[in-house]
Structure 1
Amino acid sequence: MKRPARVKVTFRLSSEVSSQLADYARRKRVSQGSVVEAALASHLSPDGADRLEAALSRRLDRLSRQNDQLQRHLTISNETLALFIRFWLTATPPLPDSHQAAAQAKGRERFEAFVETLGRRLAKGRTFADEVVRDLPGDDGGADPA
């Protein structure tokens, strides 16, 4: 097959772009000219904009789904904490001053056990938010019914 005629073109690049071009060509083991030619061909291609838009759209969709999941987990966490605080404040009577030191020591002990248990659960990849979502009756794992 006959190679198309080649035309010499001279242009200037910033030192930063020139350095990036040289590094990229060296890593890919191709000439800088072929990198520039491929980039220009892609940029000037009539369907290049459509491909770029489709790729960006897929990425935005994925980010949107991840954001929705994070929002759901954050909502569960906030509601869990709020319910716990309300319950604790309602159900826990104030301690007399004579019991404060013992209660604080027991609190430290329980908190250390809590942190240890939390570390083990997170290391195993188990999360409370996933358990809550899984245990909700009639919940399909996060799909928005609206």
Structure 2
Amino acid sequence: MQKRSRRLNIYFDPDILKQMEARAARRNLSKSALVETAVLSFLTDDAAERQEAATSRRLDRMSRQIAGLEEDLSILAETLTLFIRFWLTSTPPLPESARASARAMGLERFEGFLTALERRLATGDRFLRERSRDIAARQGAADSDPTE
């Protein structure tokens, strides 16, 4: 059974009517079809479009977060590589007689390192964020330095 459309007389502000006529002409629609689509869109709240927009915003935010993580990981890898290279090239091998005491001292220093790491993680501040702030502060000071 076919639904029958019913006639409804409505009044528009002349400026809105001009916009509606122009839009209908551009889309090759009748004014009735355009109004019906607009009213239906209003009544259904365009849930799918809002969901798509919200998803796009989330994906954009996640992309920026991933880019930040990639940068942090790159800095971390470079830092670790430089440290290992420095340590391997500057630390001479120990004689057999000194290895036991060096191992004991190393374990003690490692425990101190873990304690400092736990303390730092508990504060929520991270080295890379702190370092980024230091760099930004130095760059800001250099940009505002009148001697340059």
- Which aligned runs of 4 or more in structure 1 are off by greater than 3 angstroms? none
Q: Say which one has the larger Rg.
A: 2
Q: What percentage of residue pairs aligned between the two structures are identical?
A: 57
Question: 1:46 offset after TM fit, Å?
Answer: 7.5
Separation in 2 of the partners of 1:99 and 1:77? 32
Superposition TM-score, scaled by structure 2 size: 0.59
Cα-to-partner distance string for 1:12-47 (whole Å, 9 max, x where unaligned)? xxxxxxxxxxxxxxxxxxxxxxxxxxxxx99x9483
Please, which runs of 5 or more residues in structure 1 have no aligned partner? 1-40, 140-146
What is the match of residue 73 of structure 1?
Answer: 72
Question: 1:138 offset after TM fit, Å?
Answer: 3.6
Between the two structures, name the one with larger relative contact order (CA 8 Å, sep ≥ 6).
1
Alignment: residue pair count: 98
Q: Which structure dedicates a bigger proportion of its chain to helix?
A: 2
Q: Which amino acid aligns with 2:112?
A: A
Question: 1:88 offset after TM fit, Å?
Answer: 0.5
Separation in 2 of the partners of 1:79 and 1:120? 24
Counterpart of 2:94 in 1: which secondary structure?
coil
What is the match of residue 93 of structure 1?
Answer: 92
